[in-house]
Amino acid sequence: MPPKPDYGIDAPGVIRNLLVIGAALIISGIVFPTIHLGNVTILWSRSAFWPGGSCLLGGLLMLVYAKWGKFRHRDRMLNMVGWRGDERVLDIGTGRGLLLIGAARRLTTGRGTGIDVWSTKDLSSNSLERTQANIEIEGVQAKVDLKSDDARKLSFPDASFDVVLSNLCIHNIPEAEGRAQACREIARVLKPGGIALISDFINTGVYQKTLADCGLKVSRTQINPLTFPWLRVVGAEKP
């Protein structure tokens, strides 16, 4: 059988911790239903089950997103673009190439570029080589390039791209000024008339304000309930 693309598990460490902590709390509640501290008896099962169940549920929902929800969310994002087919596309934080490959399928004479710092903390087995393998399996290698680059200091000239995409990337920049600078860089490399779509579960209001301060026409969607954590998409059009 032909090989299948592998788009990895998002935030694998977070999922692992949620599942382990959740299981540990529930097991401890079963093994030690009550705890005696001197003259005080604590009903530990009641105290452990609720947070344990919440952790397990959170971890499972993140797995469902990684294996199912992110493909629907990708299509939702790409459907927000009025594709012609000749666009130059930049995918910031491309990971294993999910958005980049989806965009490439909508291109005819256009070309996509994916950039990342290839952190395995944010995506399991994240590497340029694994992304390239997915690109080849999906048959879009003639339409895309990959590059190691920092979203805070993009190595592209002004007004280089018709479409800029990013999903669950910018929040990983630890400092607020760095996240704002990434948004300013997106505005800089976007062509007049171009569109940027930034999806995230936090800081989307900040992205919206920063892009608006750069003179872009900005909007923000409602949360997508088919994702976990729940994602919003900030859309920005450059005059």
Q: For residue range 63-76, list pLDDT tens digits in order.
A: 999 999 999 999 99
d(CA 45, CA 235): 46
Residue 136 pLDDT more than 80? yes
Give the pLDDT confidence score for residue 32 in this predicted structure. Answer: 85
Residue 88 pLDDT more than 70? yes
Run of H or E including 54: helix 44-64
Q: Tell me which residue of 40, 146, 155 sits closest to 99, measured CA to CA.
A: 146
Q: For residue range 6-55, list pLDDT tens digits in order.
A: 999 999 999 999 999 999 999 988 888 887 777 776 677 778 899 999 99
CB 214 within 8 A of CB 184: yes
Whether residue 229 has a cis bond before it, omega within 30° of 0 = yes
Which domains can be identified in the chain, with CATH numbers?
Answer: 12-72 (no CATH), 83-237 (3.40.50.150)
Q: For residue range 141-157, list pLDDT tens digits in order.
A: 999 999 999 999 999 99
Give the pLDDT confidence score for residue 41 in this predicted structure. Answer: 66
Residue 185 pLDDT more than 80? yes
